Amino acid sequence: MRLKRSDIETSQNKFAHIINKNPNPVLQITKEGVITYANKAGLWFLNFWNRQINEYVPAQFNKVIMDVFNTNSYKVIESEYGTNVFSLTFVPITKEGLINIYITNINAQKQLQEKTTQLEKLNILSMMSSEIAHEINTPIGAFSLCAQESMKYFDKIAITLNHLEMQIDSISRTMNELRTFTVSNSGDMTHSQMHDKFTQSMNNLEGCEKEFKRELQAMKSSESHLREYLENSIKESLHCKEAVNNLLNFANQVALYKKKYCINALITDVTVSLYRMFNESKIDIVFNLSDNLPNVLIDICKMELVFANIFYNAIYAIKALTEEPVHISNHVKGTITIETRMSTNKDEIEISISDTGVYIHKNNLKKIFTPFFTQKAETERPIIGLGIAGKIIRMHNGVIAAESEQETGTTFKIFLPLKEKISKQYI
C-alpha cells in the first residue's frame, strides 16, 4: 500500500524536527527504497551514493530493506566509501511504512580495533616466545651443564695421562739404571750390594706400578662419569628436539601414539630426570603411589611433557617463594608431594601433584591451561607450559584442574580414563 504524499510530508516534518541537529548523517526512506528525507549531514553523505532526495537508494541495499520490513527489526551493516568506513543502522517505522537510516563514521573505531588486534597479536607472540623459551631453555640448560661437567673430566683425564707419562719415564729411568749397573758394576760389587740395588730398583718399579694402576682407575672413573654426562647430553638434546616438535605441532593435528603403560613408572622416570633441579633447589619429593594400579593407555612422550611442565612450575614457584618469603602455615617449604590412586568408580586413575610454592590467584585458575597463558608479575607464581599440558590431557579424554591457596600452596589434579572412548585422537 502506497503512502499518500501528505502522510509522507507529515512524517518528514516530525522526523526533521527531532534529528535536524544531529551531526551524523540521517536518512529516511520508503519501503520501496525511495529517499524521502536527509538532514544536513545526510545530504553530504548522499554524495557517496551519487543520489538525491526522491531517488532510490543503491540496489545493494534492497535486500537489507526487505529484511528489515519482514522481520520488523533493525539491522546494522558496514560500508566502505573510499577511505571512509560507515556503520548504517536501518530502523523500521512500521506503522508509517518508512525506515530511518542512522549513519556513523567508524574510521576511528576501525583504527582502534586494528590497533587492539595488533596488540593482541603482539601479546600472543610474547606469550608464545615465553613458552618457546621455557620449553627449549630447560633441556639446553641441562645440556650446557653436562657439557661443562664433561670438560672437567676431560681436564682430569689430561692430568691423569700426564701423570702416567711421568710414571712411564720413571720406569724407563729405573730400567736404564739397571742395565747400566749390570754392565758396568756387576764384577766389582758384592752379592749383598747387588741385592740391595736390585731391591731398590724393584721397589721403585712396584711404586710406579701402584701409581700406574691408581691413575688407570682414576681414568676409568673419569671415563664412566664422562660417558654418563655425554649420554645425558644426548638425552637432553632429544628432549629439546621433542619440545620444539611439540611447539610446532601445538596448533596442528598430530596422532597420539598410545600404548598401555604404568603411570607410577612414568612419573618416577620424570622425577629421576629432573633430580638435579630438585636437588639444586633443595626440594624434597614425597611419593604416595598406590600399588597395583592398572596400566593406562597413553602417549608416553607427551605425558612425560605434561608432568615435566607441572614439575617445572612447582620448582619455579618454590624458588619464587624462597626469594619472596611468604608465610605458609603447617607446611614445609620446598616440598612436592605426588599421589596416585584409583577413582571411586574405578574407571579413572587420579594423579595429584602438590607443591608448597607461591599460590595461583583465583582469577587465573581457570586460565592457566589456555594456550600461551603466563604470569609475569614478580609477586605472582610463574605459569609456564601448562597450555600444552592441558591440551595433551584433554586429548587423552582426561581432565586437569588446579587448586591453590596462599597458606597451603597449589595442587594439580589429573584424571585419566582407563577405557578408550575414541579409537583415534589427535592434538
Q: What is the pLDDT of residues 309-355, one digit of tens each?
A: 899 888 888 887 765 544 444 445 689 999 999 988 889 999 999 99
Separation CA 167–CA 173 (nearest Å): 10
Closest CA to 229 of 157, 167, 174: 157
Share of the chain residues as helix, strand and coil, in percent rounded to the nearest 5: 55, 20, 25
How confident is the model at residue 146, as a pLDDT?
61
Confidence of residue 251 (pLDDT cuts 50, 70, 90): very low
Is the pLDDT at 271 greater than 70? The verdict is: yes
Q: What percent of the chain has pLDDT over 90?
A: 23
pLDDT in tens, 114-172: 766 665 565 555 566 566 666 666 666 666 666 666 666 666 666 766 766 676 667 66
pLDDT in tens, 181-214: 655 555 555 556 656 666 676 666 666 666 666 6
* Residue 325 phi, psi (nearest 5): -55, 130
Distances (CA, A) of 70 to 64, 97, 103: 10, 11, 22
**422 compared with 312, residue with greater pLDDT:** 312
pTM over 0.85: no
* Angle (deg, nearest 10), helices 300-323 and 263-273: 50
Average pLDDT, the chain: 75
How confident is the model at residue 107, as a pLDDT?
83
Confidence of residue 280 (pLDDT cuts 50, 70, 90): confident
Domains of the chain: 5-105 (3.30.450.20), 122-248 (1.10.287), 258-417 (3.30.565.10)
| Residue ranges in 50-106 assigned as alpha helix (H) | 62-71
Is the pLDDT at 380 greater than 70? The verdict is: no
Is 300 exposed, middle or buried (CB count within 10 Å of its CB: 0-12, 13-18, 19+)? middle
Q: Is 282 in contact with 313 (CB distance < 8 Å)? A: no
Separation CA 330–CA 258 (nearest Å): 40
Is 423 exposed, middle or buried (CB count within 10 Å of its CB: 0-12, 13-18, 19+)? exposed
If you search the block for the grid coordinates 607461591, which residue do you land on?
358
Which range (93-97, 171-175, 259-263, 318-322) has the least confidence?
171-175
Which grid cell sits at 397?
579424554
Torsion-angle region of 238 (φ positive above 0: left; ψ -120 to 50: alpha; else: beta): alpha
* Residue 84 phi, psi (nearest 5): -100, 140
**40 compared with 353, residue with greater pLDDT:** 353
β-strand 258-261 against 296-299: which pairing, if any?
antiparallel
Q: What is the mean pLDDT of residues 258-268?
A: 92
How confident is the model at residue 414, as a pLDDT?
95
